Every structure is written in C-alpha cells, then in structure tokens.
C-alpha cells in the first residue's frame, strides 16, 4: 500500500527542464531525497518559450504546495517503525471537500449543526441504515457517533428544522433560477417499510414499487425547473395520490406569498374534482390527459387528426379547457413495442394453458381477450389493431394562455421529478425505511430532501463547469481522496495533508478549487 506523506525532512524536490531530441522541453518534478534522482511528475511539455516558463512556474507551485512529499511503501522492510507510528489517522476527505463545500454554499450549515451535515454527506456517499451509518462514520471519517445519539437527533430534527431547511432550499433555488418561481411540478411516489403491522401513517395501498404486502407512506414532491426540490409532504400509505396535490401546493403558495402559480402534473393526478378545485383556487395548470377516456365526439376529432412527427393541435372543450394533442414517432414506436409485448405475453399464456379466470379483466393488455362460449378464451386481434390508431399520441389538458409548444415543453420537465425519485430511491437509498416513530420517518425524509438538494447543486455546478463528469463519478472520485494526519517525530507537531494521488483526483480538486 502506498501513501503520500507531507514531511519536509523526508525529501527535497526541484523543477527540471529536460530537452528532448524532438526539441520539445519537458518540465519535470525531481526528487533527490534518497540520494538518487527520481522523477515524480511531468508538469507538461512544449516547444514554445512562454509556455515553457508557464509550465516551470506551475512546477514551482507544485513544490510549494507539496513541499516534502515522498512516497513510502508500507510493505518495504526498510520502512521504519518510527515513521509508521507517526501516522495518526487516515480518513476520507474528498466528500467533505466536495459535497461539504456545496452544502455550505447552499446555506444548510446555518442550521442543524455538524451532525446534520455528517448525516447528509453520508447519505450521498455511503447510504445505509442508521446502525450502519455509525459504522461508516467511524470507519471512513474517523467520527465516533453512537446510534442513540443519531436517534435522539432525529427526534428533534423534523420539528426544529424542516421548515427552515426548505426555506434555505427555496431561497437558493430562486437565486439559481434567477427570479420568482411561477411554475411548479408535482408528483408522488410510495415508500415501503420492512414491517407487517400498519399504524396511523404506514398503511397498505397501491404500491408503485410492487410491494403491496408492505405498509407504506405516500411521498409528494414539489420541484421547480430542472428538478430543483422546493417542498415535500408525506401522507398515509392508502391515500389516493390525487388527494395529495392541493394541500402541498396551497401550503407552498401561502408560505412564499406567491400570487400566480402554474401547476404541472401527470395524468395520475387528473380527476374532475382536482381540476375543479384548481380552478376554484385560481391556479393555472398543465395536466397529462387520458385521451382515450374523452367523450366520443372528442375521440373522433383526435382520431381524425393527421399529425406528423413533432406536431400538435389544440382542441377546445365545452368546459372551456384546452386539450393539446401531440404526436411523435418516438412515442409511436414505444407504444407499438409495448402493445406487441403485451400481446405476446397473452399468446404465451393461452398456449401454455396458464390463463385463468383471474386473468380475465380489463387491466393492461387483457382488454384484448374475449370469451367465446362458456370456457373458450381467444384474443381479439381486431381490437389490438384498432389501438394502433392511438400510437404516438399524447394529450395535455390546460387552462393556461401558453402556446401549445410551451405547454408541451413544460410538461416535458416532469421527467426530472421522476429522476428525483430515482435518485432518492436508488442512489440515496431512501427505501426501505426501518424507522417506527413518525417523527423519525419525517426526519429521515428531511435528510434525504437536503441530500437531494446538494446532489442537484453538484449536478448544476458540473454542468456550469462544462465537464463530462457525472454526479456519480464526482462522488466516486471524492470517496478516493484521503487525508492523513501525521505527528512529526522530530518535534511532536501534528499536521494534516490531503492526498491527491492521481490525475482524476487532482482534476476534481482543481475543478472545485479545494
């Protein structure tokens, strides 16, 4: 195992200009501490005199920053016990340098104390249960925090800091987006628990994750453009998702004193009651429309359309709302694929004799089944072919004055809230939740909300810096950047040095100036 240590008494370095046969000059860092000359690093090469001098200055800066650096192989027999014992601690430092910096830039460091910051950064780098979190904090970050302390902190986190943390997130998002927030995007997901019994908040209901046997909660998330998180609420696991939207939007609008708000949501939240309430409360909206459920007259108009790729039309409804219908070849291809896959499954079930009475319903692609006589089941291929007329069509219901292009574009932002759920569930591992008390469940969601905000800001800064590195790659690199604490055996002084051992670590450090 090889480490870089910062001890000036161990080595001496200088910058060398080496002229190659081609005439190009290489600027190198040379170490002569062991009595032999050893090249440690090539800063760069050039034949241009000005560039050579610039490279030479970079070499001097490198030595100034890393003065005394030398590699030691802990496996060598001549590596003295004295130097071994001088190493006091080795911990991951990159996570704090990268994500901790962003956490503070957003302003989260103003509340919650160090423990909140540690739990948020751990959720981004090593997501796990609270029990494992204590192990990770000790193993990777040199922090001794027991599980009881974390649970006591969770008990007060939600009641003391939830609103303030959301306010900080809102203020930062407003600044990033450059003005007042006038369009919000809403969606819900379900998060299950590894328990059998229900309680006041954890109920069995329709699970988006297929965990129907597990009690769950419903999480509603409100975001702005580009998926920046704005607010969230949790609801009982058996609550219809359409009933979760208005309470969080009303609360958000009142809290931030917003006069006008356009709400964007998918077709799962579309109901006549929701539409009526949105209109009564003065909201404008863009909702995904279930065009196959429209009246016969509207459906005839839709099927009579001759749309080409990326075109759309507006159909005015009797209730004053506008129905925008758009068509894309990409969606048509996907719709056809899904229909054919569903049909193939039905054909395989019939052929194998595994199609039972329970299979005969009007869900999914079973609508293509028909009963002939008492027991004979067949596939209605005519109905299957008729459905092809709907391939590629997508509907949007609105009461806004926006153009149809703006409506479709705004609705298209919803995939970013879906990404937010994917990041929360897969990267941050928000599920399953093992907490029993509601305040701890709320605190767990709060930590994930803050972590996702930090993730989004990292994503924004990477994009702003025009780098090809993704959030996941940046975090992975940061996890390999260690810090070493060493006591100088000659005078007893202790120093800490961040170890940047390869090009990608140095690139990340330069990118974020740490």
User: Same domain for 380 and 290?
Assistant: no
Q: Are strands 262-265 and 284-289 parallel, antiparallel or unpaired?
A: parallel
Q: What is the mean pLDDT of residues 87-98?
A: 92
**How high does pLDDT run on average in the chain?**
82
Helix (H, G, I), strand (E, B) or coil at 219: strand
Q: What is the mean pLDDT of residues 312-341?
A: 94
User: Same domain for 366 and 343?
Assistant: yes
User: Same domain for 267 and 411?
Assistant: yes
User: Same domain for 203 and 276?
Assistant: yes
**Strand blocks (E) in 74-136:** 87-92
- For the beta carbon of residue 393, count every other beta carbon within 10 angstroms: 20
User: Same domain for 409 and 498?
Assistant: no
Lowest mean pLDDT among 263-277, 282-296, 318-332, 386-400: 263-277
Q: Compute the distance between CA of residue 223 and CA of residue 188 in angstroms, rounded to an integer.
A: 11
**Strand blocks (E) in 99-182:** none
Q: Are strands 69-73 and 2-6 parallel, antiparallel or unpaired?
A: antiparallel
In a domain, 404, yes or no: yes
In a domain, 313, yes or no: no
In a domain, 13, yes or no: yes
pTM of the predicted protein model:
0.71
Query: How buried is 10 (Cβ within 10 angstroms: 0-12 exposed, 13-18 middle, 19+ buried)?
Result: middle
Q: What is the pLDDT of residues 103-120, one digit of tens each?
A: 999 999 998 889 999 999
CA angle (194 as vertex; 419, 132 as ends), nearest 5: 80
Exposure string of 160-197, with b = 16+ CB inside 10 Å and e = fewer, is: ebbeebbebbbebbbeeeeeebebbbbbbbbbbbeeee
Q: Compute the distance between CA of residue 219 and CA of residue 478 in angstroms, rounded to an integer.
A: 30
Which one is predicted more confidently, 266 or 322?
A: 322
The answer to whether 497 and 484 have CB atoms below 8 angstroms apart is yes
Separation in Å, CA 94 to CA 263, 274, 463, 469: 39, 47, 20, 16
Q: Compute the distance between CA of residue 108 and CA of residue 117 in angstroms, rounded to an integer.
A: 8
User: Same domain for 104 and 142?
Assistant: yes
In a domain, 270, yes or no: yes
- For the beta carbon of residue 418, count every other beta carbon within 10 angstroms: 14
The pLDDT score that the predictor gives to residue 122 is: 92
The pLDDT score that the predictor gives to residue 121 is: 95
- For the beta carbon of residue 439, count every other beta carbon within 10 angstroms: 14
What 8-state DSSP symbol labels residue 97?
I
Q: Compute the distance between CA of residue 143 and CA of residue 234 in angstroms, rounded to an integer.
A: 32
- Name beta bridge partners: 288: 396
Look up residue 118 and give its two tokens. Answer: 């540690």
Q: Are strands 322-327 and 311-316 parallel, antiparallel or unpaired?
A: antiparallel
Instruction: Tell which residue, 124, 164, 118, 163, has the closest CA to residue 141.
Output: 118
The pLDDT score that the predictor gives to residue 426 is: 62
Main-chain phi, psi angles of 317, to 5 degrees: -95, 165
User: Same domain for 112 and 259?
Assistant: yes
Q: What is the mean pLDDT of residues 137-148?
A: 88
In a domain, 347, yes or no: yes
Which one is predicted more confidently, 372 or 412?
A: 412
Q: Compute the distance between CA of residue 265 and CA of residue 285 in angstroms, rounded to an integer.
A: 8
Helix (H) / strand (E) element for 337: namely helix 329-352
The answer to whether 133 and 119 have CB atoms below 8 angstroms apart is yes
Q: What is the pLDDT of residues 17-30, one digit of tens each?
A: 988 888 889 988 88
The pLDDT score that the predictor gives to residue 202 is: 66
How many domains would you assign to the chain?
A: 3
Lowest mean pLDDT among 114-123, 191-200, 391-400: 191-200
Q: Are strands 322-327 and 393-398 parallel, antiparallel or unpaired?
A: antiparallel
Q: What is the pLDDT of residues 208-261, one digit of tens each?
A: 666 667 778 788 888 888 888 888 888 777 777 777 888 888 888 888 888 888
User: DSSP readout, 358-412?
Assistant: GG-SSSGGGGGEEEETTTEEEE-HHHHHHGGGGTTEEEEEE-S-S-HHHHHHHHT
How many angstroms from the chain centroid is the CA of residue 480? 21
Q: What is the pLDDT of residues 405-443, one digit of tens each?
A: 999 999 988 887 777 777 766 655 665 565 566 788 888
| Max CA pair span of the chain | 97
Q: What is the mean pLDDT of residues 337-343?
A: 91
Domain that holds residue 68: 2-92+485-512
The pLDDT score that the predictor gives to residue 436 is: 61
User: Same domain for 220 and 134?
Assistant: yes
Lowest mean pLDDT among 341-345, 367-371, 470-474: 367-371
User: Same domain for 65 and 188?
Assistant: no
Q: What is the pLDDT of residues 144-191, one digit of tens each?
A: 888 888 888 888 887 788 889 999 999 999 998 887 788 998 888 877
| Side-by-side strand order, sheet with 284-289 | 229-236, 216-223, 183-192, 262-265, 284-289, 393-398, 322-327, 311-316
In a domain, 319, yes or no: no
Query: How buried is 204 (Cβ within 10 angstroms: 0-12 exposed, 13-18 middle, 19+ buried)?
Result: middle
User: Same domain for 136 and 231?
Assistant: yes
Q: What is the dihedral of CA 502, 507, 509, 512, to 10 degrees?
A: -160
Q: What is the pLDDT of residues 437-484, one digit of tens each?
A: 678 888 888 998 999 999 999 999 999 999 999 999 999 999 999 998
The pLDDT score that the predictor gives to residue 72 is: 47
The pLDDT score that the predictor gives to residue 132 is: 83
The pLDDT score that the predictor gives to residue 282 is: 87
Residue 184 belongs to domain with CATH number: 3.90.350
The pLDDT score that the predictor gives to residue 407 is: 94
User: Same domain for 54 and 122?
Assistant: no
Q: Within a 13 Å sphere around the CA of 203, how many CA atoms are in the beta-carbon half? A: 13
The pLDDT score that the predictor gives to residue 69 is: 43
Q: Compute the distance between CA of residue 137 and CA of residue 131 in angstroms, rounded to an integer.
A: 10
Which one is predicted more confidently, 363 or 512?
A: 512
Instruction: Tell which residue, 285, 187, 268, has the closest CA to residue 227.
Output: 187
User: Same domain for 122 and 256?
Assistant: yes
Q: How confident is the model at residue 71 (pLDDT cuts 50, 70, 90)?
A: very low
The pLDDT score that the predictor gives to residue 360 is: 59
| The pLDDT of residue 326 is above 60 | yes
In a domain, 264, yes or no: yes
The answer to whether 424 and 340 have CB atoms below 8 angstroms apart is no
For the chain, the distance separating the N- and C-terminal CA atoms, rounded to the nearest angstrom, is 25
Q: What is the pLDDT of residues 270-282, one digit of tens each?
A: 778 888 888 888 8
In a domain, 365, yes or no: yes
């Amino acid at each position: 195992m090889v480490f870089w240590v910062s001890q000036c008494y161990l080595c001496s370095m200088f910058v060398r200009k080496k002229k190659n046969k081609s005439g190009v000059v290489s600027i190198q860092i040379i170490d002569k501490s062991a009595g032999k000359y050893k090249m440690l690093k090539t800063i760069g090469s050039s034949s241009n005199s000005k560039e050579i001098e610039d490279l030479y200055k970079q070499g001097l800066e490198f030595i100034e920053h890393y003065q005394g650096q030398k590699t030691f192989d802990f496996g060598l027999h001549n590596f003295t016990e004295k130097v071994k014992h001088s190493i006091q601690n080795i911990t991951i430092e990159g996570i704090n340098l990268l994500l901790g910096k962003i956490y503070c830039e957003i302003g989260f460091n103003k509340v919650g104390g160090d423990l909140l910051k540690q739990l948020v950064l751990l959720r981004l780098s090593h997501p796990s249960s609270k029990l494992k979190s204590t192990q990770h904090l000790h193993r990777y970050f040199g922090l001794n925090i027991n599980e009881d302390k974390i649970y006591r902190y969770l008990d007060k986190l939600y009641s003391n800091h939830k609103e303030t943390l959301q306010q900080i997130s809102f203020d930062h998002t407003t600044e990033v987006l450059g003005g007042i927030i006038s369009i919000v995007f809403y969606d819900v997901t379900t998060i299950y628990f590894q328990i059998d019994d229900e309680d006041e908040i954890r109920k069995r209901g329709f699970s988006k994750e297929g965990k129907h046997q597990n009690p769950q909660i419903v999480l509603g998330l409100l975001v702005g453009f580009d998926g920046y998180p704005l607010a969230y609420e949790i609801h009982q696991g058996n609550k219809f998702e359409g009933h979760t939207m208005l309470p969080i939007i009303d609360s958000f609008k009142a809290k931030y004193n917003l006069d006008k708000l356009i709400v964007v949501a998918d077709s799962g939240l579309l109901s006549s009651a929701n539409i009526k309430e949105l209109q009564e409360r003065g909201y404008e909206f863009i909702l995904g429309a279930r065009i196959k459920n429209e009246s016969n007259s509207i459906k005839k108009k839709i099927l009579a359309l001759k749309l080409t790729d990326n075109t759309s039309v507006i159909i005015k409804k009797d209730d004053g709302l506008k129905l925008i219908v758009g068509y894309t070849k990409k969606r048509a291809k996907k719709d056809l694929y899904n229909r054919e896959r569903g049909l193939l499954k039905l054909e395989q079930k019939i052929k194998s004799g595994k199609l039972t009475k329970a299979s005969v319903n009007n869900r999914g692609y079973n609508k293509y089944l028909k009963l002939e006589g008492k027991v004979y089941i067949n596939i209605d291929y005519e109905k299957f072919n008729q459905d092809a007329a709907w391939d590629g069509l997508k509907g949007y219901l609105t009461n806004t004055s926006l153009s149809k292009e703006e409506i479709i574009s705004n609705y298209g932002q919803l995939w970013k809230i879906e990404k937010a759920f994917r990041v929360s569930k897969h990267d941050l591992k928000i599920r399953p939740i093992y907490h029993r008390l509601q305040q701890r469940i709320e605190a767990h969601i709060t930590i994930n909300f803050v972590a996702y905000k930090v993730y989004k800001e990292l994503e924004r800064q990477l994009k702003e810096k025009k780098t090809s590195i993704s959030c996941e790659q940046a975090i992975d690199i940061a996890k390999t950047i260690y810090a070493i604490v060493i006591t100088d055996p000659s005078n007893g002084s202790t120093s800490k040095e961040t170890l940047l051992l390869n090009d990608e670590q140095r690139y990340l450090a330069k990118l974020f100036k740490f």
